[in-house]
Amino acid sequence: MLRGKFDLALEEVALGGHRFWMAVVRQPEKLLDDISVDEFARDERLPYWAELWTSSIVMGEHILQDPSFRGAALLELGCGVGLAGIAAARAGAQVTMTDYDDDALLFARWNAGANLDQTERGRLQIRPLDWRLPPSAAYDIIIGADIVYERRHFEPLMTFFGAALRPDGFVLLGEPCRSTGDDFFAGAAANGFDVAEELKPVTRRGRSSSVRLCTLRKGSRA
C-alpha cells in the first residue's frame, strides 16, 4: 500500500548496538502539492510527518540507554514514521504511538512491522490522536520528537500533559534548539512544570547540530 501511494526511500539508523531500517518519503516536499487550499485553511495541516527528524534519532538512542523505560506505559505524540516509539518498544515499554495524520500511521505501522519482533510488537499499539482533545488514559511517560514548533500547539499540549501524565510520570521532548522551543519550555515552567534540559550534540548527513532533550515533571502548580 505504501509503495503504491508514495515514492519511498529506506533510511538506515544506528542507535547504539541497534539498527533500524525506516521507510520515509523520498521527497517529502512534493506532498505539499497534494494539500488543497481548503484542507490547509481548515487545519493548517502540513506533511511534517514524512521525514525522519534528527530529534527522533537522538531521542531513540536515549530511550534505548535508559532502563527507566522498561515496563513503563508510554504514549508518543506526533509519532511520524515511528522511530522513537519503535525504540521504546525495543527498550521494553508498553507503547501507544499516535499521530493526527492517517498517512503517518501507515508508515509507523509498516516500520514497526519491519523492525520489531513478535514480542516487541505485542507491546505496541498505534492509533490516531488529537492532543487538543481530553486524553482517554494516563501514562507513566509521554514522549514527542519535534512537536513544539508551532505556538498554537503550546496551550493544548500543556493541558494534555497535565491531564494524561500520572503523578510520578514525566514528559520527554526532543527539540532542535529553536526559539519556539525556548518559548515552549519557558511557558511550561510558568505553568508549574519542573523542566530539566540536556543538550545532545549530533552529526547527521555530514552536518553537526544539537538536539535538546527536555524532561517535564508535574510541579506543585501543574
Query: What are 87-101's pLDDT values in tens digits?
Result: 999 999 999 999 998
Q: 2-218: CATH homologous superfamily?
A: Vaccinia Virus protein VP39 (3.40.50.150)
For residue 216, what are the CA distances in angstroms to 37, 143, 144, 177, 193? 37, 10, 12, 16, 6
Grid cell at residue 136:
482517554
pTM of the full predicted structure?
0.90
If pLDDT is split at 50, 70 and 90, which confidence band does 1 have? low
Please state, rounded to an integer, the average pLDDT across all residues of the chain: 89
Query: How distant is the alpha carbon of residue 45 from its chain centre?
Result: 17
Query: What are 3-39's pLDDT values in tens digits?
Result: 667 778 899 999 989 999 999 987 655 554 555 445 4
Query: What are 186-213's pLDDT values in tens digits?
Result: 999 999 999 999 999 998 888 899 999 9
Mean pLDDT for the stretch of residues 40-68: 80
162 φ, ψ to 5°? -60, -35
pLDDT at 25: 83
Mean pLDDT for the stretch of residues 37-63: 74
Place of cell 518498544: 89
Mean pLDDT for the stretch of residues 123-138: 96
Helices (H) and strands (E) counted in the chain, each on its own, are 8, 9
Place of cell 520528537: 145
Question: CA angle, 73 as apex, 68 and 74 as ends, to 5°?
Answer: 85
DSSP 134: P
14 φ, ψ to 5°? -105, 120
Q: Is the dihedral of CA 161, 135, 143, 43 positive or negative?
A: negative
